[in-house]
A and B are shown apart, each in its own frame.
Chain A
Amino acid sequence: MANRIVVDPITRLEGHLRIEVEVENGKVKNAWSSGTLFRGIEIILQGRDPRDAWLFTQRACGVCTYVHGLASVRCVDNALDIKVPNMARLLRNIMMGAQYLHDHPVHFYALSALDWVDVVNALEADPKKTADLAAAVGTAPGSGVKEFEAVKDRLKAFVAGGQLGPFANAYWGHSAYKLPPEANLMAAKHYLDLLKMQVKAAQLHAIFGAKNPHIQSLTVGGVTCGADLNADRVAHFMFLLKEIKSFIDNVYVPDVLAVAGFYKDWGAIGGTTNFLAYGEFPQTDMEPDSLFLPRGVIFDRDINSVGPVDPGKIMEHVRHSWYEGNGNLHPSKGETKPQYTKLDVDDRYSWLKAPRYDGQACEVGPLARLLVAYGSGHPQAKATVDHALQTLDIPATALFSTLGRTAARAINTKLIADAMVDWTNEMIELIKKGDTKTYQSYEWKDGMGMGLNDVPRGALGHWVDVKDKKINNYQMVVPSTWNLGPRCAKDILGPVEEALIGTPVADPKKPLEVLRTVHSFDPCIACAVHVIDPHTNEVYKVKVL
């Protein structure tokens, strides 16, 4: 007999998400994903100065800070035919890289680790055995017996105090937790280490970004931080990057592989079918050719056939969302008006729309980026993926899963951290050559612009129509909308809905396994909810440029 479970709020994500699943015979049979907050940023942008857009859109999300701002300046640059100077391109990439180095590790430890790590069980650990385990899996500093003893004592005192704070009323002791106490203690210590490290990763971003969250050194035409291209700042950046890279190489990546080793069965749970990546980090002004992480689309898990991406094939459906009509039109065509009705999973149940590429639901994010890179022959991507599969002794098919997605996030971070060293060296070479122009002045014109980006959570597109120096229309199609959107008019499930089918649920009162897969998508629901302007009822035509 089927059992309906509603998990609302889903915690440990950004924004407001509700998940409903139907469980039969201990497995998820059906699932519905709902975004429950609406702000309307595109409506707010209507009629404003296009140069301001990035400051507004950056506030789509403070976890995915920076990324919307970057998408925005790119699309307005595109609309006004501005070619930003080389150093500005590089600094924008470097700031994007810094965002990745903050975002992905924080996601693993602070937002998803508690799904896999039983912190209460960590109190049973033997500190000596924990030190041995740490030595076996990686080269994390501070991994001696005394350090683990200290963390264990601290956690013990915390729990004994009776005020469990964020750890209260949770799922400790659930049968789905598989780590031995030593692994739990090691991960708990690294969670605390990560909380310290993220402060530094934010500093890295702020050196050229002014502050984090919510950078303030971008602008249409380039960046404003030209005066920070001095020896002191660059040295600070280089040596701070070293520390952060060390955490990623010695703590984050080894931890993910170590934890994955105990959960290999999750290599067969939580997979989707199609993968879309716009690619990121242009190395020159040639896109998509010079993208460090390539652009591509994969259908039916066929990594060997990476296809080109045609933005004209993106459609956003509203049939099961709280907007008028049943339209399934290109982001820039058609009529949509927000219209809230009650939450009915058989009818309309989300503020998120349902993007589809060539009619298909597509997963976006670290797994999509990695698979497209792998399939495109990216040497470092191939090497790191093959190494991870070998270390874990799991088949390539395990990539299409919750486990695969989580490991992909760590691998993405490593690839970018390594590249950041190269980009810093490139920055130094440009400074030595005197090639430090950071801003290109421009003339106003009417025009359409598009900015395609691949940000931590996945493929992000911004489109603008500039008319008489004002925003005539603005549209954002956002990664979490791809991943956490509802069914479309053809009743094709969204990626997280598809991924949840078949998930084992040992105890319907404690849906830990459901949280694992939902969290693996790293949801950002503030980003995901947006709307086409209801006033003009017009979506502008998007030119593929």
Chain B
Amino acid sequence: MSRDEFLGRNAEERGISRRDFVKYCGLIAATLGFPVTMAEKVADAMTAARPSVIWLAFSECTGCAESFIRTTYPSIGDLILDVISLDYSETIMAAAGYQSEELLMDTAEKNNGKFYCIIDGSLPTKEGYGMIAGRPMIDIAREVTSKAAATICVGTCSSFGGLPAARPNPSGAKSIQESLGIKTINIPGCPPNAINMVATVVHAVVLGSLPALDDLSRPLFAYGQTIHDRCQRRAAYEAGYFAKEFGDEGHLSGYCLYELGCRGPETYNNCPSVKFNQGISWPIQAGHPCIGCSEPDFWDKMTPFYVAK
């Protein structure tokens, strides 16, 4: 919602004209020792709207949305109440059916060019394989993303196709970039770390810009290095200490999991550094090799997971 719309709605309902409101802000500015010309800036700050976010869910498992709400500082409650305006999310919104459809269309229209579109799930391209409110998902995606300031793909499915696109891709699933031919910011992972998703959104809202990206449109701050580069067991790898079987002495004492199928060397992500769930753990710490879940086509390229390359 624009500042003017907000002023119009709330102030006028209270019998305050816009002119009166700006006059009031002029008084505030003077009280603060600013020149009266600052009145407009004060008015802006007082009525700054939270940026509108539309979350679209397509051929997904909702794991990315679940991972997103594991965030702390800001918590998901703080994010939704204070930082962004989550104007559409089928997972948590109160409205259903045509009331939710209305919200989607109205929000995209009113905030044309200004809202952020977050997407989880790939797009099925076979007819009838993915419908919402009687419309093909791909049509909804095309319409909404065309109005967004930026489209952020969370998860490997929307970024690269993900699980539904794994051979033989029964639904003709494709990534958002591929199916719509648009540029997106990709935050892959299955699911991605809450830290990386929320940091990107906050980057946009607080710094007013999007983070630097690699050639797969992934933020470099998270995907700039491989798991192998950051892994606590790298020294074991270099020294030639490899776990041979789950549960063996080496496995239980932190030996490298390369021989059990670890894909760390070919996977770009920051899991070893930031870990998951407020630093509780991450796969290799829990004794399980990396499966390369933030890489394109990992379901086909990194399998069989338990066989070393």
Q: Which A residues are within 8 Å of any B CB, using their own CB?
A: 6-12, 14-16, 36-41, 43-44, 48-49, 51-52, 55-56, 59-63, 65, 110-111, 114, 119, 154, 158, 160-163, 165-171, 192, 195-196, 198-199, 202-203, 205-214, 216-217, 219, 221-222, 224-228, 322, 338, 340-343, 437-439, 441, 510-511, 515, 526, 531
Taking a contact as CB atoms under 8 Å apart, the answer to whether B95 and A170 are in contact is: yes
* Residue B85 interfacial (CB < 8 Å): yes
In the complex, what residues of B have CB within 8 A of residue A12's CB? Answer: 90-94, 96
Q: Which of B77, B129, B245, B286 has the largest number of chain A CB atoms within 10 A?
A: B286
Question: Which of B6, B58, B76 gathers the greatest number of chain A CB atoms within 10 Å?
Answer: B76
What is the distance, in angstroms, from A115's C-beta to the closest C-beta of chain B? Answer: 9
A163 close to B50 (CB less than 8 A): yes
Interchain CB contact under 8 A, A438 and B247: yes
State in angstroms the CA–CA spacing of A64 and B278 once bound together: 21
Of the listed stretches B30-38, B143-151, B165-173, name the one at the interface; the rest are far from the partner chain: B165-173
Query: Which B residues, 249 to 308, have Cβ-Cβ distances below 8 Å to chain A?
Result: 251-254, 275-278, 280-283, 285-288, 291, 299, 303-307
Partner of A63, one of B50, B62, B97, B164: B62
Q: By the criterion of a CB under 8 Å from any partner CB, how many residues of chain B are at the interface?
A: 90
Interface centre among A170, A213, A341 (most CB of B within 10 A): A213
Is B9 part of the contact surface with A, judged by Cβ < 8 Å?
yes
Q: Which residues of B contact A7 (CB under 8 A)?
A: 96-97
Docked-complex contact A110 and B96, CB < 8 angstroms: no
B27 contacts the other chain (CB 8 A): no
Q: Total number of A-B contacts with CB less than 8 angstroms?
A: 278
A59 touches B163 (CB 8 A): yes
Given contacts A59-B190, A166-B89, A210-B281, 6 further A-B contacts (CB under 8 A): A9-B90, A11-B90, A55-B291, A62-B67, A207-B281, A224-B246
B134 part of interface (Cβ distance < 8 Å): yes
In the complex, the answer to whether A225 meets B286 with C-beta atoms within 8 Å is yes
Instruction: Give A486 Cβ to nearest chain B Cβ, in Å.
Output: 15
B94 touches A167 (CB 8 A): yes
- Nearest opposing residue in chain A for B85, CB measure: A163
Chain B interface (Cβ within 8 Å of chain A)? Answer: 1, 6, 9-10, 49-50, 52, 58-67, 69-72, 75-77, 80-81, 85-87, 89-97, 99-103, 124, 126-134, 137, 163-164, 166-168, 170-171, 173, 190-191, 245-247, 251-254, 275-278, 280-283, 285-288, 291, 299, 303-307
Contact, CB under 8 Å: B133 / A9: yes
How far apart are B222's CB and chain A's nearest CB, in angstroms? Answer: 15
Give the residues in chain A near B166, CB-CB below 8 Å: 44, 56
B64 to chain A, nearest CB (A): 7
Which B residues are CB-close (under 8 A) to A196?
A: 75, 77
A217–B287 touching, CB < 8 Å: yes
The docked-state distance in angstroms from the alpha carbon of A213 to that of B1 is 34
User: A39-B163, A160-B10, A162-B10 known; A206 and B65 CB under 8 Å?
Assistant: no
19 contacts between A and B (CB under 8 A): A7-B97, A12-B92, A38-B171, A40-B170, A41-B163, A43-B170, A48-B304, A62-B62, A161-B6, A162-B6, A170-B95, A199-B69, A199-B71, A205-B277, A211-B280, A213-B63, A214-B190, A227-B253, A439-B247
Closest 9 CB pairs of A and B: A62-B63, A40-B170, A340-B128, A439-B247, A210-B286, A211-B276, A170-B94, A224-B287, A49-B304
User: Of all chain B residues, which has the CB nearest A227?
Assistant: B252
Whether A162 lies near B303 (C-beta < 8 A) is no
The chain A residue sitting closest to B97, CB to CB, is: A7
Of B85, B124, B132, which contacts A9 at CB under 8 A?
B132
State whether A226 touches B170 (Cβ < 8 A): no
- Chain A residues with CB under 8 Å of B81's CB are 154, 158
Q: How far is the CA of A225 from the CA of B87 in the complex (A)?
A: 40
Q: Report the nearest A residue to B157, measured CB to CB.
A: A59
A11 to B57, CA, bound (A): 11
B85 pairs with A226, CB closer than 8 A? no
Provide the residues of chain A in CB contact with B75, threshold 8 Å: 195-196, 199
- Chain A residues whose CB sits within 8 angstroms of the CB of B275 once the complex forms: 211
Q: Which residue of B lies closest to A198 (CB)?
A: B69
Which residues on B sit within 8 Å (CB–CB) of A110? 92
- Measured in the bound complex, the distance between the Cα atoms of B171 and A531 in whole Å is 12
Compute how far the CA of A338 lies from the CA of B126 in the bound complex, rounded to whole angstroms: 11
> CA A357 – CA B164 in complex, angstroms?
30
- Chain A residues with CB under 8 Å of B251's CB are 224, 226-227
Neighbouring A residues of B70 by C-beta, 8 Å: 198-199, 202, 212
Closest Cβ–Cβ distance, residue B120 to chain A (whole Å): 9
- Which of B93, B127, B164 contacts A39, CB < 8 Å? B164
Q: Are B77 and A165 in touch, CB under 8 angstroms?
A: no
Chain B residues, Cβ within 8 Å of A210: 276, 281-283, 285-286, 288
How far, in whole Å, are A12 and B58 apart by their CA atoms in the complex? 15
Inter-chain CA distance A165–B63, complex, in Å, is 21
Q: How far apart are the CA atoms of A197 and B156 in the complex, in Å? A: 27
Asked whether, in the complex, the Cβ of A10 is within 8 Å of the Cβ of B66, the reply is no
Known contacts being A163-B49, A210-B288, is A338 close to B246, with CB within 8 Å? no
Q: Which residues of A contact B133 (CB under 8 A)?
A: 8-9
Contact B63 A38 (CB under 8 A): no
Is B61 in contact with A60, judged by CB distance below 8 angstroms? Answer: yes
B131 touches A63 (CB 8 A): no
Residue of B with least CB distance to A511? B97
Q: Is the CB of A209 within 8 A of B191?
A: no
Contact among B67, B96, B164 for A40, CB-based, below 8 A: B164
Q: What residues on B are CB-neighbors of A170 within 8 Å?
A: 93-95, 99
